[in-house]
Structure 1
Amino acid sequence: MQVRTNNTSTHNTSTNNTSTKRSALSTVLISLSLGLGFSHLANAQTPTPVTPKATPSFRCGGINPIGVELKPVPKLSNGEFTNPGADCAMWQTFIYLNWPAKAGQRGIPDTNALFGAPGTTVWESFLTEEQVFLPNGAQPQPWNNLALNASLPKEIANDVAGGSTRLLTRTAKVSPTVAKLQASLKALKNTSIPLDEIKQADGNVLYDQQKNPVYYDVAMNKTQYDYITQNSLYNATKQASFAKKSNIVLPFGSIEVKAAWKVLTAAEASSGRFHVAKGYIPSAPGSQAVTIGLVGFHIFASGGTENAGLWATFYQVDNAPLMGATGKQAYSFNNPNSKTPINTKGTNPTQVVQVFADDASASKINIEAQKMITQGYAKSPWQYYAMVDTQWSKTVLNLGSPVPQAIPLSAGKPGDISTDTLINPVLETFMQTKGNSCMGCHAFATTAQKNSKTATGFSFMFGSAQAPK
C-alpha cells in the first residue's frame, strides 16, 4: 500500500529511503486499519491484532489514516489524480474519523484501541457546530475543554461535552440560521438547484419505518476550529469585517463532517450492523436518552484557497434499495410492500429509494475496504457501510481573490469536476435529481449577514454565527 504522512511527499529522492518509509508506514496502517479485533469491556485485555496471511490494501493508493492530506490528493500508485485514488483517500479518511478516540484528546486516534471497539470515535470527539457558534457570538471553549451545557441534566451534560452522547436537536443537516438564508438564495438566477430542499426540515423531515425522524449532527476538526477561532469568525460582526478584507476559505486540512442518526430498535441495536452511540433528545416529551445508529456520513476535506477539496458520502447498507431493485429485505427507510410514493416530503414513514447507483469505481473500493475490515474482525459493524462516491475538482481554483467572492462559487465548468451528481439518500432524500451534488449546493454557502451573497468557501457553517447583543 502506498501511503504518506502529512506534508511528506511520496516521491523522495532515494528509492531505498522511500521503500523503507513506505514499509514502516504500511506497518502502522496495518496495525490501525487491519488489526480490527474487538474489546467488549473497558477492563478486558486487549486482543493482539492479527494480520491476515495475504495483507489486503487499497491498490490504487491512499493516505495514512492518522491524518488527511490534499494536494489535491497524494500521488497514487497509478501515478495521477483519479476517481479510484480519490475514493481510496476518502475511505482512508473514513477509517481515521471513525477510529476510537484517545480519552481527553479531541481528534486523536487511540492507536492502542481496535477498529470497531465501542466508544467515542475520532470525529465524535470533535466540537460540533453548536459548540463553536454560540449565542450572541460568544467565544467558544478551548479545543480540549469540557464546557458543559447548562440547559442539560448534569448526568447528560458531561457526556455531551465529551462527545460520547450526541445531542439530537436538528432534523435538518443545516442549522435553522442557515435555513433562513433560503429566501435570499432563491433570488439568484441561473441555478437549477432546488434551494428550498438543501435542508431536510419543517415539512422535509425524513422518517424511518418506526416513524421516528432522522437527526443530523455537524462537527469540525481542530484545523477548522483554529481557523474559526483565531479569526473570530464565530462572531457575526467580526466575521463581516474579516470578509471585507479577506475571503473566508477553510484552510487545507480542515475536515467538516455531517452525520445522520437513526433511533434504533432493540433488534437493530443488537444486530451488529450499525455503529451505535447514545443520543439525547431534549425536545422529546420528558426528554429521553436513546440508542442511535449511524445511517449517513458526509465528509468535506478542504483543499484550501486553490482547490475545492474532496467531498465523499457514505451510507449504511440497510438504508434503502436502489431504484428498480426488487429486494425484499427489511430496510430502515423502505417497505417493499408499501404503496407510499417514493422520496416524497411529508410522508411518515418516508418511502426512500436510492435513485442513483454508487459510482462504479467507488463500488470496487467498497468491496476492497469491506474485505480489509472483515479480515481483521468478522463482526465489525463497519463492514456494513459503503461509499456512494467522491467528488473533486479537476481544475485549480482561486478562492482567495477577488475579495469578496460572491455566490455561487464555481467548481469548474462541466467536465472539470469528477461528477456533477452526488447525493446521499438519507441526507438529501428529497433532491435526488441529476445535477445536484455536495459541491453544487455548498457553492451557495454565505456569511451570516442578512441577505448575504458573500461566499464562505463551500461551508454553510459560517451562516450560523450570531452578533453580540
Structure 2
Amino acid sequence: MRRAISITVLSALAGLAQAQNATPYDCGNFLTYGANPSQTKANFLQSPETQAWNWFVCLNQPSAQGSPNRVWEGFKPSDQVYLANGAQPKPYLPQQPTPMAIQAQAQKLGMNPNRVFQNLDSTQQVDGLILQMGNQVPAAQRGQPVRFHILMGQDTFNYILNKKIYNVNGQAALTGNLDFPSTAWELKTSWIWIGTDAAFKQKLENDGYYIIQAYYPDKNQYQVGYAALSGMHVINKLNANWVWTTFENVNNSKYTVTNAVPATPMTNTTGPTSAAKPVNLSFQATYPGLAKYELIGVEYQPVTQVLANSQLESAFQSTSSCLACHSTAAYSNQKGYFNFALKQQGGIVYPTTPLPDSAYAGYKKLDFVWSLKRAQWQR
C-alpha cells in the first residue's frame, strides 16, 4: 500500500510540473513508440498523464491530410476479427468496404461516402448490464442503450492471426500462455446513438462530442446514422507492460443515466484523479477540438487501483480495476473462459488486485486481452 501511494504522489507532482506546457508531440510513428519503446516508457513514467494525453491527441489526428477520419478509425474492429463462423479474418489492410446495405441507406440519408462507418455491435458492459440514454436526450432515445465498440492495432491483429487464436479452436490448442508484442494497441469505446436526429446531433456537437457515421444490426436489418463518442479506453503494451488510460466527455451526465429507478444522471466516481486534473486543463486549452474530453486516470503494471469510465464500467465503478480485471483473461479446455465475477457473501464482486497464480490452475493466460472472449468455434 505504501508503494502505491508514493507512486500516486510522484505521478501527481509530475503532472503538476508538466501541465502548464502541453508541448506538441511527434505523432508520426507513435504506435511503435518511435521505434524506441524503452525511451517512451521512461518518458511515460515521468508523467503517465501527459503521455496518456499525447496518445489520445495522436489517435484523434486526421488519418491522412484532408481525411475526414481519425487515426483510430483505421484500427481493425473486433467484429472483423472474431467472425461468426470462426473463420480466418481478412488481412489488416486494406480496410474492408462498408457493406452494400449500409452504403445504400447512407446514400439515401445524404451521408459522407468518404467517411468510415463503424459497426457499434454491442450494448453490454463488462458485467452484462446496459447503460441507458436519458436526461437531456430526445424522448425517442430515452431508455435506449449506450453502444460499445472494440478495435485493435495492426501488431495486435497480426499476433492474433499468426497464433490462430481468432477462434476458440486456436485458443483451445494453446500449449502456453500468450505474450502480445510490446507495440500491441487496443481501444474500447462507448457511443451515444443519435440516429438521424439532426437537432440532437447538433446539440452533441455543441457539447464537444466527436461524431461518427455508424450502424448496428437490428433484427433482420441495419440501423444507420450518427453516434457520439462518450468514452474511450486506450490500452497498449509499452515495453512489456500493459497500460490503461481512460477518457470520457465531461457532459456525459447530461445524456446517460443509471439503471436505477428512478434513473439519475451517470457520473464518474473514480476521477479525474488528482494527477490527471492539471494535465487535463493544459491539454484541453491546447487542443480545442478535444476540450470536452478529460482523462479520468492511468493504470499500469504492476500498480493496480480503482479506476473506471462511467460509460464502460458504470455499474461497478467502486470495484473496477482495469489491470486486475484484465489480468484474469484466461482460457481452459475444461472450464472455458475464467470467470472474473467473484461470488462473495451471496453477491458478486470484481477483483481490484491480481489474483494468486493458484487461481489459474489448468488455464492458459491470455495476456490481459479479454476481447479474445469474442472468438467463436470454427464450424
Q: Which residue of 1 aligns with 2:69?
A: 120
| 1:251 matches 2:214 | no
Query: 1:309-458 to 2 correspondence within 5 Å?
Result: 309-320=242-253, 331-333=254-256, 343-344=258-259, 347=261, 351-374=265-288, 380=289, 382-393=290-301, 411=302, 417=303, 419-433=304-318, 435-447=319-331, 449=333, 450-452=335-337, 453-458=363-368
Deviation at 1:223, TM superposition (A): 0.8
Q: Which residue of 1 aligns with 2:132?
A: 206
Q: How much is the aligned-residue C-alpha RMSD, in angstroms?
A: 3.1
Give distance in 2, aligned partners of 1:367 and 1:87: 12
Aligned residues: 316
Deviation at 1:294, TM superposition (A): 0.4
| 1:461 matches 2:371 | yes
| 1:230 matches 2:162 | yes
Deviation digits for residues 127-171 of structure 1 (CA, Å, limit 9, x no counterpart):
111101112321111111344576944536999999711212210
Deviation digits for residues 253-309 of structure 1 (CA, Å, limit 9, x no counterpart):
1110001010242442442611011121321796432221100000110136x42x2
Whichever residue aligns with residue 313 of structure 1, its letter is: T
Give distance in 1, aligned partners of 2:114 and 2:155: 18
Equivalent residue in structure 2 for 1:261, among 186, 191, 214: 191
Query: 1:84-123 to 2 correspondence within 5 Å?
Result: 85-101=47-63, 110=64, 112-113=65-66, 119-123=68-72
Deviation at 1:207, TM superposition (A): 2.8
* Preserved CA contact (<8 Å) 2:102 2:215: no
Give distance in 2, aligned partners of 1:318 and 1:218: 22
Q: Which has the larger radius of gyration?
A: 1
Give distance in 2, aligned partners of 1:229 and 1:129: 12
Give distance in 2, aligned partners of 1:146 and 1:138: 18
Q: Secondary structure at the match of 1:302?
A: strand
**When the two structures are superposed, what TM-score results if normalisation uses the length of structure 2?**
0.74
* Preserved CA contact (<8 Å) 2:123 2:145: yes
Q: Which residue of 2 aligns with 1:164?
A: 116
Equivalent residue in structure 2 for 1:273, among 192, 205, 208: 208
Deviation digits for residues 208-228 of structure 1 (CA, Å, limit 9, x no counterpart):
333131000100010101111
Q: Secondary structure at the match of 1:260?
A: strand
Whichever residue aligns with residue 297 of structure 1, its letter is: M
Give distance in 2, aligned partners of 1:240 and 1:462: 12
**When the two structures are superposed, what TM-score results if normalisation uses the length of structure 1?**
0.61
Structure ranking higher in helix proportion: 2
Give distance in 1, aligned partners of 2:25 and 2:287: 16
Whichever residue aligns with residue 30 of structure 2, its letter is: G
Give distance in 1, aligned partners of 2:215 and 2:92: 22
Deviation at 1:349, TM superposition (A): 5.1
* Preserved CA contact (<8 Å) 1:57 1:368: yes
* Structure 2 unaligned spans of 5+: 1-19, 195-199, 338-362
Structure ranking higher in strand proportion: 2
Give distance in 2, aligned partners of 1:229 and 1:137: 12
Q: 1:125 to 1:348 in 2, by over 3 A?
A: farther
